[in-house]
Structures are given as structure tokens and as C-alpha cells.
Amino acid sequence: MWVHLFRHGIAIDPTDPSCPTDPERFLTDKGQVRTRLAARGLRAIGIAPEAIIASPYVRAQQTAQIARDELGGEAIALVTADVLTPMAEPAAVVELLRARSEQNLMCVGHAPNLDRVLAYLTGADDPISALKKAGCASLEIRHGRPGPGTATLVGLYPTNVLRRLGGDDVE
């Protein structure tokens, strides 16, 4: 089984006076463009999820839709899950993954949740990475179903690398 942890793109700054509540924060125009380029980079390296599971927060939903559009369109199932909100427990994400039948999944969410899920699945005591916005980590589950320490980190893709692969001339 493959699991790709994709952090949402650049969202409106929470200190902006026009910023809505945290769950309603949305991708900026720059965030939408960079996320699309990052998703194209994921396509270029062969990431092909059967389903995308996303946090219900607006910025994650937007990121998931962009990823779906770039990685295969409507053939990819799009699912919303509360276990991908910023402070959700990693074990809850793993239970969700265990309940899925697909062998290639993408989770779209937030820091620190995705960093904690990455550590949990690889068996690390502490987070081993801090995914930046529109960055992705790819994991292979070695022994059947997901659980603590069952995954190998196969790829860690910073957004600037993904954007370059997606056709951007990254500054």
C-alpha cells in the first residue's frame, strides 16, 4: 500500500483582517497556482492515488480538488475526513487508512497532523520532517495494513522541487 501525505497550499494569513475562521481559511491566488504546479510535479514522478482523503477545512478541500484535477480527475475518489484536521490524532488517520480498500491513497491535510502521521507510520518517536505548504511525503506500507512502524519513507518532496517538476521556473 502507498500513502502520500500532501500538505495544503498557501492560505490567507490568519492575521489578515479579512481572514475568516481557521476552518474557512482559503488558498490565496498564489497558493492555488503553486499547489497546481506541485500537483503536476507529483504527476511527473508517477504519483497516482486511487482516492484522495482530505480535511474538511476549506484550504485542504481546495488542495485536494487541485490534486484530483492534476492527477486523474473524476476517476479519483474524493473523500472528506475529520481525522485530517490540524490537531487530530495520528492513530485515527491510521484507522481510516486501514478501513480503505485502495492500495494507493493521498491524504491532504495540515501541520502538525501530517508530520505526526508520518512519524507514527514510520515508527519514529518524534516528527522526522516538517512538511511545508504543498509539500508531500510518500510512504510504502510494508506489512499488509497500516499501523505504527509499518511504513518506509520512500520520498520527501519539497514544494519547490515539485513545482520545478511541474513546469515552474522556481526562483
Domains of the chain: 2-12+20-165 (3.40.50.1240)
Write the pLDDT tens digit of every residue in 13-70: 999 999 999 999 999 999 999 999 999 999 999 999 999 999 999 999 999 999 999 9
Residues 6+ away with beta carbon under 8 Å from 38: 9, 134, 135, 136, 159, 162, 163, 166
Distances (CA, A) of 145 to 96, 97, 114, 130: 11, 8, 18, 25
pLDDT recorded at residue 142: 83
Alpha-carbon gap, residue 5 to 68, rounded angstroms: 14
Overall residue count recorded for the chain in this entry = 171
pTM greater than the 0.85 cutoff: yes
